[in-house]
Amino acid sequence: MSSTRPLHLSVPPKTAGMNDLLFVANAAGESATAAAMFGGKPTARVVGIVRSFDRFNTGMRVEGNIKRVEYLRGLSAIHHAMREHGCRYGFILTEIELVLVRNGTANTPFFGDLEVTSVQLAASAPEGDASTLPHETPLTACLALWGLCQLAADDTPTGHSHWRAEIGAPAEGTRRKAQPRDSWIPQPQLAEKREAKRSRGWVWPEDAIGRKELGKRGVRYGVV
């Protein structure tokens, strides 16, 4: 899906903690699981998840708190997948739209700093209209996904950030690099804080690194 070395989309084996269908994109000759064989994390240039539109859609952001929380859960899922694979670009595919996500521009991005845009799947280009100028061609989901893969190509387009995000091992604590929450984001309820503490070992990004994050026997992911 890129002009120099094609990116291939594939579905890796399902892992614990990943309930959504996951897509990973890598260049020809690259393996998403090579690093994992030596105790590291899987790698990908682009990752994507599939969700039903009633569980995630961009319209939820401007609805009530319950819908906003569902929207944030979708973003949290793709954000987690992006960090697990050490990449900056991702997407969420539903029945109605393709949502494109970028995790900041810094080499080590701020935790949770997601830029989001979407393309309706119903959008289409006119067929056989030679009079349509390139800048008048509507952006379709296929064209948007192609463009996302172009950003993750071997040669990063001028003015854009490299696909690799320097996340490092959990022990390095890069999740603690975070900015204040946006004002529209609902405050977490007590039950949500308890669930976060139970499942991942921390509530706020600035919390201390816990044993749950270090992996079995204190493995420092990313070190071969």
Is pLDDT of 93 > 50?
yes
Please, how many CA atoms are within 13 Å of residue 31, restricted to the half-sphere of its CB? 7
28 and 6 Cβ atoms separated by less than 8 Å: yes
Q: What is the mean pLDDT of residues 20-46?
A: 78
CA distance 198 to 1: 40
Percentage helix, strand, coil, to 5, in the chain? 30, 15, 55
Q: Coil, helix or strand for 118?
A: strand
Is pLDDT of 135 > 50?
yes
Q: Residue 124 is encoded by which pair of tokens?
A: 């289409």
162 and 88 Cβ atoms separated by less than 8 Å: yes
CA distance 161 to 106: 8
Confidence at residue 2, expressed as pLDDT on a 0 to 100 scale:
46
Cα 213 vs. chain centroid, distance in angstroms?
19
Per-domain residue ranges for the chain? 7-124+133-174
The set of residues, in sequence order, having a beta carbon less than 8 Å from that of 11 and lying 6+ positions away, is: 21, 22, 23, 24
- State percent of the chain over pLDDT 70: 84
- pLDDT-derived band at 213, boundaries 50, 70, 90: confident
CA distance 139 to 89: 18
Alpha helix locations (H) across the chain? 65-84, 141-151, 190-200
Confidence at residue 101, expressed as pLDDT on a 0 to 100 scale:
98
Average pLDDT of the chain to the nearest whole number? 87
Question: For 142-157, how does the pLDDT look when each residue is reduced to its tens digit (9 = 90+)?
Answer: 999 999 999 999 988 9
Confidence at residue 191, expressed as pLDDT on a 0 to 100 scale:
95
